[in-house]
Amino acid sequence: LEYRDDVDLQEETLDFIKPYLNAQDLFPLSLREEDLLFQKHEHLTEGLSLEEEILDYMEFGLIDKMLHFHGEELDAVQLSAEAEDLFKRVKESDEIRELQKKYQLDAKDLQEVEDAIYDIKDCTENAAGFHGEAVRDLSHENPGSFYHHSQRFREEQDHLITLVSAYSEAADRLAEKVLALREDFNLRKDTLSPEAQAGIHAQISEYENYVNESGSIRSKIEAMPAQANTLQANALQVEQAVEEFEAWLEEALADSDDEEDEDEDYSDEIAAFYHGAAADYSAMSLNRYDGVTASINKKNKKILDRISSFLEGNMLSLVLPDGQPLPNEQPIQPEKTGFSSDTSGNPVNIAILGEYALSFFHYYHLDRTPKNSENDKDLPPSKSKALEIEYLLGGKDSDAKNLSSLVTKLVTLRETMNLLYLYTDTQKRQEAETFAVTMLLGGVAANPALVMILSFFILGIWALGQAIQDVRVLLNNGRVPFFHTSESWTLSLSGLMELGQGTAPSNETTNKKGLSYRDYLRIFLFGQGVLDQAEINNRMLLRMEKGVQTVGKDPETFFSISDCLYGVGCEAHVDTRHVMYQTAPIQVIASSPPDPTYMVTLNTYYKYRNSTQ
């Protein structure tokens, strides 16, 4: 009942009982407007009013039928249990994505260590080159060139000491991050499903393997500075010996010239000295790094990083099927409803309320009907074309914002489910490892732990790429299994690279089984209802009001659902008399007959739910 104030209620009530008042012989009573008092007003927008009315309606409407979900027929209790189980995954998806992003070490953390090792290897190779040149200079009895190459050799030892220090700092930072990840995971793992625990544990274990493998490498590398100091001392010692020998030789030759004798032949002494010096210099034990170093292909890494950034961009334009326009961006409702509904919080009731919403509110579907057609079978009874279910879930002021919000939730959910599947598929993991070697490491058989770390990075991006494709299929009226199999998985790694380079994801699917877009909405409605069904009830009220105000041939522009009563309490002061009372006999026997009327006070309370008091 829509009303403005109690005067309206008085008029409505009197109009209703006027026929009874006019039948005075049958209903001997009189009632004036001012004798009607309305002491309790239960509005449709308050308390449990809306929820009770919907549940009563559904009891005699849809809920007596079996509901189709996930290819099965379920009653309300079964639907509630199924939706509750799936929503646990929805709640988990946000946490897993957060952990995945947190635990997915940035490539620069790994590249810092790998670059430091590469620089150390390059430095030792340069030093070995200068060392070889110095030995050749000594063998060729060329002290000038020897001094130059020996000095460069010593400078490389100084450089090596600096590089080892930088490597140690990078390795420390990486080890600290990995330790922090393990400690954080140990604190949070009990909130995750067994599959999620196993997948993330495996990922962190590979980081630990890398750090441990780096530990054996590290012990060798961090022994290099001491050896570098020894090499510098040995090189200086040989340089000093050469300087002393050259000084002696110069003096001996000068003395020989002064005596004006035949030139002294010092060739044997020279040959013997430089032979010994070359042997001493050659005998030095050089620093060497014989391990494999790797450099991550920045171009291909950037392509994969671009996919990772899609969730922060315009995801909606990426997943909408070809030819489908973007939804209206104009505000069509406020984000705050101003209503104060409540909820029982009963999971079965929440499932029923979700079914009501899916039956009577519009949601996105691939529009294949002619423009302006009124015969769209996918429209609700109200004929509203607003994205109402998406609004119930998102609470934004425009269709574009609400669908964008819902699409992001869908992609996040699908990404998590896809990642859990990839963790368990050994063939897919092998593909990711091969891809890591060929596309990110240039075919170099690097540290196996580094390959595994990069393969986990690829699995995360692959899961997101398939999720984008999944949602595009759903918006194209297709079906996507909640858990993929090798048969239902559609995105190859080459397709993943194409996606990162700007190729639109496919919306084609051969899946006949799985969940539809409507099924995923059902899951979200249940989950959101568990968290805050009262707010969904408020948003339903707002869309009902907007529907009456804007939809149909004669919309009621000024309709306000806040003015609708669900229940009312009334007190009436009524003048009446006994039905069998006759005044004539009384007047005969009484000189002063009593007043034939008397006043009674009636109280009643009525609401649409069948509980009249």
Closest by CA to 353, choosing from 83, 2, 547, 567, is 83
Q: What is the mean pLDDT of residues 562-568?
A: 85
pLDDT, tens digit, 9 for 90 and up, residues 142-190: 999 999 999 999 999 999 999 999 999 988 888 888 888 888 888 888 8
Considering the entire predicted model, what is its pTM? Answer: 0.76
- Specify the pLDDT at position 167: 92
pLDDT exceeds 70 at position 588: no
User: What percent of the chain has pLDDT above 70?
Assistant: 82
Q: What is the per-residue pLDDT for 613?
A: 42
Q: Give the chain's radius of gyration (CA, Å).
A: 43
* Separation between Cα atoms, residue 379 and residue 384, nearest integer Å: 7
- pLDDT grade, residue 72 (50/70/90)? low
The mean-pLDDT minimum among 43-47, 69-73, 92-96, 318-322 falls in 69-73
The CA-to-CA distance between both ends of the chain, in Å, stands at: 18
Segment 563-586 shows an average pLDDT of 70
Which tokens in the block code for residue 192?
A: 């995750």
Q: How far apart are CA 310 and CA 307, in angstroms?
A: 5
pLDDT of residue 420 exceeding 80, the answer is yes
* pLDDT single digits (tens) 439-449: 877 766 666 77
Residue 567 has pLDDT above 60, yes or no: yes
Find out whether 447 and 206 touch, Cβ atoms under 8 Å. no
Q: Rounded to an integer, what distance in angstroms lies between the CA atom of residue 357 and that of residue 362?
A: 8
Domain residue extents for the chain:
6-44+564-607, 68-103+299-550, 108-293
| Phi, psi at 68, each rounded to 5° | -90, 125
To which H or E segment does residue 603 belong?
Answer: strand 598-607
Q: Token pair for residue 412? A: 């996040």
